[in-house]
Structure 1
Amino acid sequence: MELLPDETRRFVSALVPDRDDTLREMEAHGEDIGFPTVGPEVGAFLRLSARMVGAERIFEFGSGFGYSAYWFAEALPDDGEIVLTEYDADELDQAREYLTEGGYADRAVFEEGDALETVERHEGPFDVVLVDCHKSGYPDAFDAVREKVAEGGVVIADNAMQSGAQDFATILEILEGSDPESVDDDTRGIADYLQRVRDDPDFETAAIPLGQGIAVSFRK
Structure 2
Amino acid sequence: MNFLPEHINEYAAEHSQPEPELLAELFKETWQKALVPRMISGHFQGRVLSMISKLVAPKTILEIGTYTGYSALCLAEGMIKEGVLHTIDHNEELYDFQRKYFDRSDYGEQIFQHAGEALDILPEIEGPFDLVFIDADKANYSNYFNEIIEKMNPGGVILSDNVLWSGKVTEPPKLKDDDTKALIEYNKLINQDERVETVLLPIRDGLTISRVK
- Using the size of structure 2 for normalisation, the TM-score is 0.92
Question: Could you tell me which of 187, 197, 211 is aligned with 1:204?
Answer: 197
Question: Could you tell me which of 128, 132, 135 is aligned with 1:125?
Answer: 128
Structure 1: gaps (5+ residues): 175-179
Q: Which one-letter code corresponds to 1:172 in the other structure?
A: T
Task: Check the 8 A contact 2:91/2:115 in 1, yes or no.
Answer: yes
Q: Which one-letter code corresponds to 1:61 in the other structure?
A: I
Equivalents in 2 of 1:142, 1:15: separation in Å? 33
Task: Check the 8 A contact 1:65/1:93 in 2, yes or no.
Answer: no
Q: Deviations over 1:37-74 (max 9, x none)?
A: 11221111111111111211110111012110010112
> How many pairs does the alignment contain?
210
Q: Residue 17 of structure 1: SS of its match in structure 2?
A: coil
Q: Residue 162 of structure 2: SS of its match in structure 1?
A: coil
2:68 maps to 65
CA RMSD between the two structures: 1.7
Q: Deviations over 1:106-134 (max 9, x none)?
A: 11111111112211111211111111111
1:139 aligns with 2:142: yes
Equivalents in 1 of 2:176, 2:206: separation in Å? 20
Equivalents in 1 of 2:164, 2:150: separation in Å? 25
Equivalents in 2 of 1:66, 1:120: separation in Å? 22
Task: Check the 8 A contact 1:78/1:107 in 2, yes or no.
Answer: no
Q: Which one-letter code corresponds to 2:194 in the other structure?
A: P
Deviation at 1:173, TM superposition (A): 4.0
Task: Check the 8 A contact 1:43/1:68 in 2, yes or no.
Answer: yes
Q: Deviations over 1:164-190 (max 9, x none)?
A: xxxx33x2246xxxxx67252111111
1:172 maps to 170
1:213 aligns with 2:211: no
1:177 maps to none
1:93 aligns with 2:86: no
Task: Check the 8 A contact 1:50/1:75 in 2, yes or no.
Answer: yes
Task: Check the 8 A contact 1:38/1:158 in 2, yes or no.
Answer: no
9-18 or 92-101: which moved more? 9-18
2:29 maps to 29
Deviation at 1:26, TM superposition (A): 1.0
Equivalents in 1 of 2:202, 2:30: separation in Å? 21
Q: Residue 207 of structure 1: SS of its match in structure 2?
A: strand
1:3–1:145 Cα change, 3 Å: same
2:81 maps to 78
Task: Check the 8 A contact 2:141/2:182 in 1, yes or no.
Answer: yes
1:67–1:181 Cα change, 3 Å: closer
9-18 or 23-32: which moved more? 9-18
Q: Which one-letter code corresponds to 1:6 in the other structure?
A: E
2:180 maps to 187
Equivalents in 2 of 1:110, 1:135: separation in Å? 20
2:49 maps to 46
Task: Check the 8 A contact 2:65/2:87 in 1, yes or no.
Answer: yes
1:17 aligns with 2:20: no
Moved over 3 A (4+): none
Equivalents in 2 of 1:106, 1:17: separation in Å? 26
Structure 2: gaps (5+ residues): none
Identical aligned pairs, as a percentage?
28
